[in-house]
Amino acid sequence: MVDCFSAPGLVPLESAMEQLLGLVQKTQQTEIIDLEQALGRVLAKDQISNLNIPPADNSAMDGYALKCADGSVGASLKMVAKVFAGHPISQNIQTGECVRIMTGGQIPTGCDAVSMQENVSANGEDIIINQTVQAGENIRRQGEDISVGQSVLKSGQRLTASHIGLLASLGNQNICVYKKLTVALISTGDELKKPGQTLNAGQFFESNTYTVNAMLKRLDMNVLDFGIIPDNLELLSETFAAADSQADIVISSGGVSVGEADYTKTVLEKLGKIQFWKLAIKPGKPFAFGLLPNSYFFGLPGNPVSAMVTMHQLATPLLRKIAGEDARLPLRLQAKTCEKIRKRPGRTDFQRGIYSFDESGQLQVRPNGAQGSGILSSMSAANCYIVLEQQRGNVDVGEQVLVEPFDELLR
Ligand code: AMP
Ligand code: MG
């Protein structure tokens, strides 16, 4: 593999993404689960309907089913039956007859319209039409939502509430999905402690495994936390080997920037094939990718916002692909900036921003606070990235910029 660590210049995000997506394969492991457990899982088989929905023509209203030829104003019709939802009748309705019908009730043979009950007057067993009835009025047609043989959902779809509802309406009690991926998390650095531990001089609480873990939960992945590993070759070797044997993906944070890369590099080069990338993005320049004996490896930078941005922008599309999910484009919108934004050409910036609507309903955005790669507080108060193109320089008030609202991983 090319060692991008020593390659000249920075690699644009798009080309890194393209190359990395080519190096990961979707999982082959599937399982059958109960539909009730399917929220957030990734469908592993195309779904073709073997049912019509609705199964038969039925009434969209409480009213009277009739022949529309009989449905002119003033006509008097004899009510010959009642139809409730779930209780169809076999009677063939004749000219001059009508049927009392409830919403969802199956349209009897011979009827081709339903007059809503507000548009008729009841007169004992007869009804009088007060408003002309059109052919097909208030009838929900057989198969108008879904018809037999129709492709309903594709493999690779991550399932949401409406997908699950759709699968239920097609009668699926069980569903075939890709198995959940297991991700091992490793934090590296002598200076780090876990919340709950005691800090010594020069130490602070680590946050990266928490942010990354939270994002992985949104991706419905299992997480194995290998904790904080000191900057020690032997311990790092043991931990990476253990993580590789237990997980589909190993994600570490810290130890991939120039100063420390040798540790991770030495350890991972022994274990598998590893590439170190210098990406043209800010925050988040260093990133490592590896093929280990049993797993993929992603090395995130240590700075908390860099870790989040590389996890979100780079690792997540790879994780989605491995999980069997189809590629998706992030939602990016044009907005007017209401504050100056400082930017140097050379890297794509993912600045933390707050978008809102101005008095005229136009989308506007402003950068939110300090943009340093270690300033997590401005990330937590933001609701979007302001994505500034690689070659762009400072941005003036009123200029258009791209806004990427935080998706479900960051909300
Ligand atoms: P490194 O990439 O190891 O040089 O780390 C870069 C910066 O990120 C250093 O200031 C580290 O202390 C900090 N850092 C590394 N790992 C974490 C972590 N898990 N949580 C918070 N900060 C971290
Ligand atoms: Mg470190």
Please write the tens of the pLDDT for every residue from 65-82: 999 999 999 999 999 999
C-alpha closest to that of 343 among 407, 394, 399: 394
Residue 3: the pLDDT is 45
189 C-alpha to center of ligand 2: Å?
4
**Domain 4-29+179-322 class, CATH top level:** alpha beta
Substitution site in 303, 373, 377 for ligand 1 pocket (most atoms within 8 Å of beta carbon): 303
Superfamily of structural domain 333-405: MoeA, C-terminal, domain IV (2.40.340.10)
Ligand 1 contact via 257 beta carbon (within 6 Å): yes
Is 332's pLDDT higher than 70?
A: yes
Q: How confident is the model at residue 263 (pLDDT cuts 50, 70, 90)?
A: confident
Which amino acid would we find at residue 307?
A
Q: Are 188 and 243 in contact (CB under 8 A)?
A: no
**Residue among 203, 208, 225, 236 to mutate when testing ligand 1 (max atoms within 8 A of CB):** 208
Looking at residue 265, its pLDDT comes to: 81
Q: Which of 131, 125, 158 is nearest to 72 (CA)?
A: 131
Start-end of CATH 2.40.340.10 domains in the chain: 333-405
Residue of the nearest CA to atom 14 in ligand 1?
302
Q: What CATH architecture applies to the domain 31-53+145-178?
A: Alpha-Beta Complex (3.90)
Going 75 to 79 to 84 to 90, the CA torsion angle's sign is: negative
The CA-based dihedral angle spanning residues 336, 339, 345, 351, taken in that order and rounded to the nearest 10 degrees: -80
> Residue 294 — pLDDT band, cuts 50, 70, 90?
very high
The tokens describing 210, both together, are 């928490």
Kindly indicate the confidence band of residue 4, based on its pLDDT and cuts at 50, 70 and 90: very low
Mean pLDDT value across residues 158-185: 98
Q: Which atom of ligand 1 is nearest to the CA of 260?
A: 4
Is residue 58 within 6 Å of ligand 1 at its C-beta? no
Range(s) of the chain covered by CATH 3.40.980.10: 4-29+179-322
184-217 pLDDT per residue, tens? 999 999 999 999 999 999 999 999 999 999 999 9
Query: DSSP string of 106-145?
Result: BPPTT--EEEEGGGEEEETTEEEE-SPPPTTTTEEPTTSS
Q: Which CATH number fits domain 58-140: 3.30.1330.10, 3.90.1640.10, 3.40.50.1400, 2.170.190.11?
A: 2.170.190.11
Q: Which residues surround ligand 2, an ion (CB under 5 A)?
A: 189, 254-255, 302
Residues 290 and 299: beta-carbon distance below 8 Å: yes
Is 0.75 topped by the overall pTM? yes
